[in-house]
Structure 1
Amino acid sequence: MTALDPPGGLGPVVQESTPALIARTLRRAISDGTFAPGTQLGEAALARSLGVSRGPLREAMQRLTQEGLLVSHRNRGLFVADLTADAVRDMYLLRTTVETAALDRVFESGWAAGTADALDAAVDAMAALYDEPRSAAMVAADLDFHHALVESARSPRLSRVHETVLVETSMCLHAMRSTYSDAESRLAEHRAIADAVRAVDPSRARSLLVDHMRDGHARVRAAGGDS
């Protein structure tokens, strides 16, 4: 048989660049608390640890600086951004805006049933960690719930914006871990939102989501001692 030429719309597979891979690794380390807020990142030590040259590492760190995850202090170097009261307040404002917009789109588009299935699955994963309310796994399951909500809106732009705050969200959730003595309230808040979506009750779902964000913001402030 004669091989057919591929369709004209196909192009070569683009491999991720080294700086992009390094940026993803650093982003994950910031997200999971390996590099806590305020931690200084030394270029030489990082290059040795990651087994990379300083050129692509410097480019990766510049990307994270542009994203606001790293900050440069004159004559001192690069540091993981601190979770200041203003930064946390602004992050929760953005999260609330994006997630309520996603929720509105889900209801307007008639996607409530499928969204409820995804949210219930995320809550079930959290329930399986009932005895580990302060674990990193519970933080990840919590993030999965909100990720599932925004992805259900099928809006690339909402997803892209949400992705930019997921790392900061993870930082906040790690900071909040000490405020959860048990998983009951955490599970109840998420389950109530999922139930409202399944019941196709936009007003209640939106109200519960906004209250959940306010509670999260209050817990982060309590964990950080902010007023």
Structure 2
Amino acid sequence: MPLADIEPVSRESTAAIIARQLREAIMNGSLPPGTQLGETELAAQFQVSRGPLREAMQRLVSEGLLRSERHRGLFVIELEPDDVYDIYVARSAIERAAALRVLRGDRERAADLLTETVRAMADAAHSGDPTALSEADLRFHEALIEASGSRRLVRMARTLLIETRMCLSLLQRTDQPVKERVREHNRIIDALRAGDEQAVLDHLEAHMEDAVRRLVPGTTLT
């Protein structure tokens, strides 16, 4: 059969479904850092055999979201100060590249999409929902990267953004005023609309720098 006649299979495998749900649980804190994953309990909860469960967990090991300890099992990663620094350095490189592509494309459409996420942040802050606030914050950065049109940047950012969600849970405990958090994102949008490349990059860097400083006092990106 010619390859051109092969149709893609859209059905998600059992292992992929389990992996996705475990990612979400790690991201939203249902599986906190350091949690040990027991095969027996998870297989019963998912109502699956251990085969697809093990495959799913190995996917998360390869993604860096689970760590394996010899003779002990699998655990949700715990972010050390060096990990936080590394996450934001990598994110900074990816988001700078994404922003440059957006500036050379339909930046007005991208700015409109980003404005929606900031509006969701403000609404979450007004209603006192820190989880929704962090989700909207994360969606801002996802939307920026997606607006670049680069599948590779999106793919590279996927695991980083899950780890970022873990960082945002910690960031909620710092003294950053929510209004300032919203203003930081709006500054990026305003510079994007104006087509001011240097301002966009400066505001992105300042945003990342501020997060690292709050999460790891005494540490800077540069």
TM-score (norm 2): 0.92
Could you list the runs of 5+ residues in structure 1 that have no partner in the other structure?
Answer: 1-7
Quick one: distance in 2 between partners of 1:163 and 1:103?
Answer: 17
Q: How many residues align?
A: 217
Task: Supply the distance in 1 between the matched residues of 2:212 and 2:106 (Cα, whole angstroms).
Answer: 28
Instruction: Give the aligned partner of residue 44 of structure 2.
Output: 48
> Cα distance 1:139–1:180, how it changes in 2: closer, same or farther (>3 A)?
farther
Distance in structure 2 (CA, Å) of the matches to 1:10 and 1:70:
35
Larger radius of gyration: 1
Distance 1:9 1:140 in 2: 40
Alignment partner, residue 160 of structure 1 = 155
**Are the counterparts in 2 of residues 116 and 194 from structure 1 also a CA contact under 8 Å?**
yes
CA distance change for structure 1 residues 226 and 35 in 2, over 3 Å: closer, same or farther? farther
Displacement of 1:220: 2.1
CA shift for structure 1 position 131 = 2.7
1:16 has 2:12 as partner: yes
Matched, 1:196 2:191: yes
Tell me the CA shift for residue 17 of structure 1: 0.8
Tell me the TM-score normalised to structure 1 length.
Answer: 0.90
Q: 1:8-157 alignment to 2 at 5 Å?
A: 9=5, 11=7, 13-107=9-103, 109-132=104-127, 135-157=130-152
Contact kept, 8 Å, 1:133 with 1:177, in 2: the verdict is: no
Q: How far has the Cα of 1:165 moved from its partner?
A: 1.1
**AA partner of residue 17 (structure 2):** L
Task: Pick from 212, 216, 219 the counterpart of residue 217 of structure 1.
Answer: 212
What is the Cα deviation at residue 198 of structure 1?
Answer: 0.8
Kept in 2, the 8 Å contact 1:102–1:152? The answer is: yes
Unpaired runs of at least 5, structure 2:
none
2-side partners of 1:12 and 1:161: how far apart?
Answer: 23
CA distance in 2, matches of 1:148, 1:190: 12
Identity of aligned residues (%): 47
Shift of 1:142: 0.2
The 3 A distance-change label for structure 1 pair 24 and 221 is same
